[in-house]
Amino acid sequence: RTARDEGNGTAVFDPAAYARWRANRDLIADLQHALGTDELSMHYQPIVDLESGRIVAAEALLRWTRPDGTAVSPAHFIPLAEQSGDITLLGEWVLGRVCSDLTGLWAAHRLPVTVNISAHQLRDAGFATRLLERLERAGLPGAALIAEITETVLVTTVTDAATTISQLQQLREHGVRIAVDDFGTGYSSLAYLRELPVDILKMDGSFTSRQIEAGSPREIAFVRTIVELGRSLDLCTLAEAVETEAQAQRLRELGCHLAQGYHFARPAPVAVLHDLLAAQRAPSTGTAA
């Protein structure tokens, strides 16, 4: 939208909005070009069991590094790709790369990977079938994959909510687990939770605040409520953006099962994840001997 409504029915040309529109259009053109190159890659961030401290899964996160070395945040280009429709191709590229990386991770460590799926991808009635075929071709069971969706999948696809739900059910019947990402930030979390087939509640990073670390009763009440909700629905709870041991400790006390965040490990290339898993598997060679 490059015109600004003056509020009296007249629209005027808005140079700043026009510049933004052009920049976004150029970025999307560059992204389309990047798809065939090594500018795109996947990073993986470990997800740990708060009780044992062990890595039990990893989240696949898309990275785009331009030829001049600058990184573009997925928080910026994914919404643009959703608007332009390029998310379909981009999402398929992500799944292809994840399945090939996952082959090694699963064979060596039985490690499942979580992957972010856009509402737009689920609107396509062939999505689940294609994904299951992909897994089968890679020799992977459904249990190797966890699909992360946001609560907004139903808000933005209200007309084809039935398609979305049946795709998720189809995936689930084949062992793929479903995680609700950024849980707690949607408009009506509870209503959507009733509609969606779900296995994991992924609490939004904003709940893992400095305040829970400091012991704010109000902030702790929110986390406790989400964890309790997960418990009563028999869901696994996962906290994101855990940056300190004090936060991890608080979450552990509250009964949250899993966590990810800079405190444990940053997103990194798959080779780094292999090293972390190998170190975790190796019998402890501490100072004891």
Which stretches of the chain bind ligand C2E, using CB under 6 A?
45, 61-62, 73-75, 78, 94, 116, 118, 148, 181-182, 205, 240-243, 261-262, 267
Written as one string, the DSSP assignment of 158-203 is GGGHHHHHHHHHHHHHTT-EEEEEEET-SSSHHHHHHHS--SEEEE
SS3 282: coil
CB 206 → Mg ion: shortest distance, Å?
9
Q: Please say which residue, 17 or 89, places its beta carbon nearer to ligand C2E.
A: 89
Residue 19 has φ and ψ, to the nearest 5°, of -65, -40
CA distances from 236 to 50, 249, 261 (A): 12, 18, 17
Comparison of 11 and 79: residue with beta carbon closer to ligand C2E: 79
Q: What is the CA radius of gyration of the chain?
A: 21
- Does residue 182 touch Mg ion according to CB under 5 A? yes
Nearer to ligand C2E, 2 or 24 (CB): 24
Q: Residue 183 Cβ, how far from Mg ion at the closest point, in Å?
A: 8
Please list, residue by residue across 217-235, b when 16 or more beta carbons sit within 10 angstroms of its beta carbon and e when fewer do: eebbebbbebbebbeeeeb
Q: With CB under 5 A as the rule, give the number of residues binding Mg ion.
A: 5
Q: What x-and-dash track marks residues 107-146 binding Mg ion by CB under 5 A?
A: ---------x------------------------------
Amino acid letter at 34? A
Rounded distance between C-alpha atoms, residue 225 and residue 167, angstroms = 29
The span from the CA of 212 to the CA of 227, in Å, is 14
Which one among 86, 151, 181, 213 touches Mg ion, defined by CB under 5 A? Answer: 181
- Indicate the residue among 153 and 254 with the shorter CB distance to ligand C2E: 153
Residue 30 interacts with which of Mg ion, ligand C2E, none, CB < 5 to 8 Å by class: none
8-state DSSP, 68: T
Nearest-approach distance from CB 122 to ligand C2E, in angstroms? 11
- Does 148 bind Mg ion (CB under 5 A)? Our answer is yes
Shortest Cβ 182–Mg ion spacing (Å): 4
Compare residues 2 and 152 and give the one whose CB is closer to ligand C2E.
Answer: 152
